Structure formats: structure tokens, C-alpha cells
Amino acid sequence: MAMASFSRRKASTLLSNPLCNNSKYSLSMARGFASSGSDENDVVVVGGGPGGYVAAIKAAQLGLKTTCIEKRGTLGGTCLNVGCIPSKALLHSSHMYHEAKHSFASHGVKFPSVEVDLPAMLAQKDKAVTNLTRGIEGLFKKNKVNYVKGHGKFISHSEVSVDTLKGESTVVKGKSIIIATGSDVKSLPGITIDEKRIVSSTGALALSEIPKKLVVIGAGYIGLEMGSVWGRLGSEVTVVEFAPDIVPTMDGEIRKQFQRILEKQKMKFMLKTKVVSVDNSGDGVKLTLEPAAGGDQSTLEADIVLVSAGRIPFTAGLGLEKIGVEIDNAGRILVNERFATNVPGVYAIGDVIPGPMLAHKAEEDGVACVELIAGKEGHVDYDMVPGVVYTHPEVASVGKTEEQVKTLGVDYRVGKFPFMANSRAKAIDDAEGIVKILAEEETDKILGVHIMAPNAGELIHEAVLALHYGATSEDIARTCHAHPTMSEALKEAAMATYDKPIHI
């Protein structure tokens, strides 16, 4: 029993990934809260995106007087307004069209023709965004969060000056101020985004017509998702990527299979390729390319170019230099394990600090940060934050890739199970994909799980929970899964990890 306990503790160190542990950023949490009659807030949150609005609501739920400042005028940040939510709406709508055009007949559903009503599709997307942003405002009212619409800027470590959207100016005071301003589109040298023919993800969500040729610069999550949307609707999509691989953070084996599937969907890839310039002075857009390692240049023409080279922390105009908040070379605000900056009373969460730039990670940051401010315990393990590419099939993962495990020098086992052998996937005729599990050989403790499948983003959370509680592959394998379900593939992969699967 003692040895088993020791082995589990040893294995747990493989998954620990603390936010930061710099003693110079330590901050005493012994602070009083403002009385109900005071103009000073207990907590002020600058930014109303997933991290910010969740932090504000949690703070209010913990009895702290809270104000949230948001310059957009609608809550939800990039994610809800021009990111996660509208893109998933279009991914779903475009998938429905693609299925109707290519798959319905084999299921006995036939009709003379099917066509895209792009204005209606975009309207459905906008309706979803509007309803959700209004819903957050309703949650603010329910939880008594004061909402200030305007651009906030620090004038001291405890005061934020706000230029409101009504043209007024006010000062919001707080004992604890949380920076949650998110991230912005990363630009590329020599490429000017006009959101017309050279667009960011924001412009790609609102194209007035389906481009005949779409070039995507960057083979990450966002580029592949938006490429999928317009590819399904009829665009000829070419993805240009400087790196040798798509989605570099993905497990290598899964990545290769994923790329093959996207290529079957007629998405073209130009890897190890540098974009030298983009010219939109003519009727279309002309890209000048060259090999990443150097060599002869070539040209590529497009109707629309999507620049999807990543995102950068958004801290411009916040006055951080005025109060002395430290920032690293990547523009990220440095914080300790309590999300505290080097300035007493000032905290930061989400995309503006190190860690994955994901909405759900920002939400967890927000809850943990506020709990710590309130004198409770809070922690986010970034090694257990799931990532999902919402293409079809989706690709979801949590924990270590096989490449990372090899780098650690850990002895491990791998279990895999293809969806071609899953009864539910075969029944619905949607069986492309695989589940891959990595477990430490000595303890059988799960180190990483990678799923490529329809709805992989839903299936991954069993694995997230397993990693959080230090489960073994045998734990999952011996857990009864309903039949027939896609989740049985995870069970079978777990069986393949510690023993043998049944259905292959």
C-alpha cells in the first residue's frame, strides 16, 4: 500500500505545471473588505470576457462588492462576440449543409437540391451571440455586479479611470483589481488586415459572399476551423503554414491522421512555407511565397486571405507602465501562483498571462483568483486544461502528448482504439477517428488522452476528470459505459492500454 502511494505521488509530478512560483510576487491576503456604504469596491475586474465576467460573478457570489469594466459594450469578450460562439454556430450550420448535400441520400433522405442562404446563416449566428451576451448582463443583475461600459486605464494601483461609451469619465476604485483584457489578433509583417479581402478571424465570420478561393495563413485551431466552414460551403481552401506541421501542440500521430482527413475534405496544405507579401491592389489578392528555409519565390492568388497566425495579450492603453506592472518579452503579465502581479492589489488572469489562450482556462483562472482574494483556496493546473479543434471530426486532448512523454524519459504504455470498431460510430456512418491513451508503465496512471472523433470535445471530459483524480487506465476500463455510445471507444482504448480491448 505504501509503495502504491509512493508510485502515485511519483507519477503525479509528471503532470504538475504550476502557474509560476516567484516569491517576489507574493502578496499578503490579509485585507479588509469595503463596507456596503463605501464607494470603493472589494473587486474591480477590467475586461468582461470569459475570464472577466466569470471572475466578477464569482466575486459577487462570495459577498464581495464588485464592478466589471468592459469597453466593447457587450459582455463575453472575443470568445462570445467574435470568436468561440459565432465560429461554432457557423461550423454547425456549414456541417448541416455539407451533410445534406453529401450524406443525406445514403440515409434515405432525398430532395431535388440544396442551397446556401448565407444571409440567413449569418443571421442565425448573430442571433446566438446577441442572446448569449444579453444573458450575461442578466447574470450580472442577478448577482448584483456593477457593470461599467467603457475603456479602463490605471491611474494608481487601486484606481481605474474609465472613459464611458456615453462620453463621460469616471473613476472606479477597488481594493483588488483583476486585469482580464484577453488577447488580440497577431499581425504579420507587411500584411495589413482590412477585414474586407485580408481578414482576421473576425472578418472571416462575416464575409458577405462565399469566396471562390480562400487562403488561410496559419494552420492552428482557428485557421483550420474557419477553413472548414468556408470549405464546406464551396470555397477552395489552401492553408499556408511556416512550420513543418499543422497544429504543432497536437500529438504527432493524431496530427498526421487529422491532416489526412482534412486533405480528403479537399483542404490543401503548403507547409514549411513563408508568406513574403500580400498584395490586394488588384481585383483579387496575390500572395508571394517562398520556402521557410529560403529558395525560389512563387505566387498564390485568392479572393480572400485569412490571417490566422495566433493571438497576443491585449494590454495596450491600460496604463500598466504607470503603475509598474511587469511584463515578459511576449507581452504577458507576470503573476505568481495566486495570480498576483508585482504590484500589490493588482491581479491578472486569462490570455494576458502565461498559459493556454483558451476561454475555459480564463474562466478557471477567474474563479481561482477570486477565491484566493476572498481568503479561500484556488488553483488551476494548466496541464489538465483540455484543448479542442472543432472541425469534423473534432480533435480533443488533455495531458501529455507522446512526444512530451518521451522527452520526460518516462516508461509508458499506449492504448488505441479506432472508431471504425465502435458500434455507435458505424451505426451513424461517421466512424473516422481514434482514441489514444498514454499511461505510465509502472503505475498505469494516465498521462494523456487524445481523441479524434465526432463530438470529441464532449468525450474528452471523462479523461479530464480521470487525470484530475489520478486515475489509471484500468479505472476507466473497469467503468461501465452505456452501449451503444461513442464513449465506449475511450473504454476500449483504456483496456488496450493496460490489457487488451474486446472489439478489435
> Looking at the annotation, which residues are catalytic?
483
Residues 44 and 369: beta-carbon distance below 8 Å: no
Q: CB count, 10 Å around CB of 84?
A: 20
Q: In this structure, are residues 237 and 266 in contact, taking their beta carbons and an 8 Å threshold?
A: yes
3 state DSSP class of 242: coil
* Per-residue CA distances from 355 to 67, 287, 330, 339 (Å): 26, 33, 12, 12
E strand map for 281-358: 285-291, 298-302, 304-307, 311-313, 346-348
Q: Which residues are annotated as a binding site?
A: 88, 152, 181-183, 218-225, 241, 310, 351, 357-360
Distance CA 215, CA 204 (A): 11
Q: Using CA atoms, how far apart are residues 148 and 166, in angstroms rounded to an integer?
A: 10
Sheet holding 285-291, edge to edge: 273-279, 285-291, 298-302
CB burial class (10 A; 0-12, 13-18, 19+) of residue 456? Answer: buried
Residue numbers belonging to the annotated binding site for FAD? 88, 152, 181-183, 351, 357-360
d(CA 465, CA 258): 25
- Residue 253: DSSP 8-state: H
The one-character DSSP state at 340 is: B
Question: How far is it, in rounded angstroms, from Cα 27 to Cα 346?
Answer: 10
Residue pair 435/445 in contact (Cβ under 8 Å)? The answer is no
Neighbours of 166 (CB within 10 A): 9
Helix-then-strand count for the chain, H and E: 15, 21
**What angle (nearest 5°) sits at the alpha carbon of residue 344, between those of residues 342 and 348?**
65
d(CA 158, CA 178): 10
Taking the C-alpha atoms of 10, 14, 20 and 22 in order, what is their torsion angle to the nearest 10 degrees?
40
Residues within the annotated binding site for NAD(+)? 218-225, 241, 310
Report the sign of the C-alpha dihedral through residues 326, 330, 336, 340, in that order: positive
Parallel, antiparallel or unpaired: strands 268-270 and 236-240: parallel
Q: Round to whole Å and give the CA distance between 311 and 184.
A: 5
- What element of type H or E holds 225? helix 221-232
Contacts of residue 73, Cβ cutoff 8 Å, sequence gap at least 6? 149, 165
Calculate Rg over the CA atoms of the chain.
24
- Are the CB atoms for 297 and 290 separated by under 8 Å? yes
